[in-house]
Amino acid sequence: MPKNETAFVWKGEHTFQIIGTQHHEDTIKIVADSHQKEARVSLILPTLSITYADMAFTNAIGGVQEDYPYSQKYGKKFFDPPVVISGEKEIENYTWIRGANKVTIGPEQTEIEWYLFKKLVIPRLRIDRKKPAEAMIRCKSISIDVDTPLKIDVLQFADGRHIGGVRVEKRHPDWKPKEPEKRYDLTIHVSDSRTLQPMAERVVNFFRWDEKTSTPYGAGGFVKAEQKYTDGNGTVHDPARTSNILEAITVGIMGRASVAKCFRALPGQIVRHEIRTWALEKTKRDYTWASKDTLDSIAGLTGIKGAEILKTNGLGDSGSVKAGSKISLPCYAASYQMERGDSFEWLIRAFAYENSEELSRVNNLITLAEWDGKENIRLPGWHFFYARKGDSLKLIDSLFNLPPGSSRTLGRVHHPHAPIPFESEIIAVPTEEFVKKHIGSFK
C-alpha cells in the first residue's frame, strides 16, 4: 500500500514551561524528525518573552526591555494590532530568531512559525527566573506514517550549555512497538593469571537456570546447557545469546583453579568476562572410601586420573578398594589469586583464618601489603576439589567426615541455592585439624 494511503493527518497541541536562568543568554533550539519536512509548526510564547529589537519600540520603553511576566504590559500598548514579521532575514534582524518563516507578536502571545526541515533557534529569551513562561507547540496539519513518528525536540541552553528540554512525539494509531531485544552479546576470555597469556582450546561449561528442576534446597536449579572451547586467543564469543536467563559458567581445566561466574544478562547488553586461571600444586590427604564411591567419581572429585590414585596407593585395580578402606588421596593444595573487588579482609573471613598476621605468616610475608600478585596466596589447611554433577557442600563435608558448613565454593560468586555448587566449580575443603582449630570462625 502506498505510504500516503497508510498515513493519517494529525493536529494538536503540547504545552510545557520554560524557566529563565538569568544567565547572559537563554536559548531554545527546536529540531524535528518527520518524513513530512514541508509541514509548518508553530511555537506559542507569551508576549513579550522574546527579544524585540525594533528601534521605535526600544525608544518607547526607555531602552531596556523587561523580562516576562513584567513585559506583558507592552502587549496591548504596542502589539494591538499584532506586528507580523515575515522572511528569515527580517525575523533575525528584529528578534534574533533563526529558522522561522513568520513571527506574529500579538497583545497576549507571540506565534513563531517554521518548517519542520528547519532548525528553529530562539536566542535571548527574556523570562524571569522565578516565574516560568508557558509555551505551546501547535501542529495544524501533519501527515504521520505508521513507521515514521513525528518527533519534535525542544532543547534549552543557558550560555551555550544544555540544561534540559522536552520531546513532543506522536505516532500513527496503527503503530505497534517492536518486540524488545531478546539477545545479548557475550565474550569470555580465559588466560593464565601469572603470564596473562590466553589459554586456547579450553572447555567452558555453560549452565542455565531451570525452574522445573527440583533440589533438596528448593525449586529451580542449574542444568548444564552446553560446552564451548576457547579459540586461539583464549576466547569464546557468542553475539546472540538469549537474555534474561540466570546463567553460570565454569572453566574445566584439571590442575588449575578459577572463579566461576553467575549472571543474568539484559536484552542488548554487551557482557565481557575475564576468567583467570592459576596452576595448583599436587598434594595428598587421608580419605576413607565410602560405599557409593567409584574410581571414576573420586577422579572427578579430585581432578586427578584414577590410574594415578591407584598408583599412589600401590593398588592394581579399583576392586582392591572397599568401603571403609583408608587411602592416601591425591588432590591439590589450596591457593588463590585475588579477583577484582576482593580484599584481604574478605579472604581471611572466607577461609576462616584468625587474622591477617596468620595469613601473612603462612605465606612467608611480614605483612600482606608485601604481596606483589606474582605468586598465588597459599591457603594452608585447605585442599581444592572439583564439584561433580549432583554434589552439594553438605555431601562433600560428609565424605571427609567434617561438620556441616566446613566446605565452601571459591570466590565471590552468587549461588541461588548456597549449598549447591556449579558442576566443575572449585570446592575448598578444610582438614580436620584446621576445623578443630578454627571452627569458631565458621559461619
Helix, coil or strand: residue 183: strand
Average pLDDT over the chain reads 91
Residue (of 396, 217, 429, 425) closest to 293 by Cα position: 396
Distance CA 23, CA 3 (A): 46
User: What CATH number corresponds to the domain at position 253?
Assistant: 2.60.40.1120
Residues 156 and 74 in one domain: yes
Structure confidence by residue, pLDDT tens digits, 265-295: 999 999 999 999 999 999 999 999 998 999 9
**pLDDT computed for residue 442 by the predictor:** 45
Q: The sheet that has 256-257: what strands, in order across it? A: 235-242, 183-192, 270-279, 256-257
Q: For 437, list phi and psi in degrees, rounded to 5.
A: -80, -35
The pLDDT value recorded for residue 4 is: 45
Domain count, the chain: 3
Residue 403 lies in a domain: yes
pLDDT, tens digit (0-9, with 9 covering 90-100), for 166-177: 998 888 888 888
Within a domain: 147: yes
Q: In this predicted model, what pLDDT tens digit does every residue of 210-252 receive, in sequence order?
A: 999 888 888 899 999 999 999 999 999 999 999 999 999 999 8
Place of cell 599412589: 312
Q: Final residue of a domain: which of 278, 301, 318?
A: 278
Measured CA to CA, the distance from residue 338 to residue 376 in angstroms comes to: 9
- What residues are paired with 113 via a beta bridge? 42, 102
Q: Are residues 135 and 193 in the same domain?
A: no
3-state SS assignment for residue 256: strand
Exposure string of 256-277, with b = 16+ CB inside 10 Å and e = fewer, is bbbbbbbeebeeebebeeebbb
**Residue 341, pLDDT score:** 87
- 21 lies in the same domain as 156: yes
Phi, psi of 377 (to 5 degrees): -85, 115
| 233 assigned to some structural domain | yes
CA 368 to chain CA centroid, nearest Å: 33
Q: Quick one: which of 198, 193, 203, 195 has its CA closest to 224?
A: 203
200 and 338 within one domain: no
Do residue 249 and residue 125 come from a single domain?
no
Residues of the chain with pLDDT under 50: 1-4, 441-443
287: cell is 580419605
User: Does a structural domain hold residue 176?
Assistant: no
Same domain, 273 and 284: no
- Note the pLDDT of residue 344: 93
Same domain flag for 233 and 190: yes
Cell numbers standing for residue 397: 563435608
On whether both 25 and 166 belong to a single domain, the answer is yes
Please report whether residue 209 resides in a domain.
yes
> How big is the chain by its Cα radius of gyration, in Å?
36
Residue 217 lies in a domain: yes
The model's pLDDT over 360-399, given as tens digits with 9 standing for 90+, comes to: 998 999 899 888 888 899 999 999 999 999 999 999 999 9
Q: Is 177 within the bounds of a domain?
A: no
> What is the distance between the alpha carbons of residues 379 and 371, in angstroms, rounded to a whole number?
14
Which of residues 219, 253, 278 is at a domain's end?
A: 278
Q: What is the pLDDT of residue 273?
A: 96
CA distance 419 to 296: 23
293 plus 411 within the same structural domain: yes
Return the pLDDT at 439: 64
Q: Are 143 and 251 within one domain?
A: no
φ, ψ (nearest 5 deg) of residue 297:
-70, -40
Domain termination site, one of 278, 297, 321 = 278
Domain membership of residue 45 as a residue range = 3-170
Considering the domain architecture, whether residues 271 and 324 belong to the same structural domain is answered as: no
Q: Is residue 178 in a domain?
A: no
Does residue 156 share a domain with residue 46?
yes
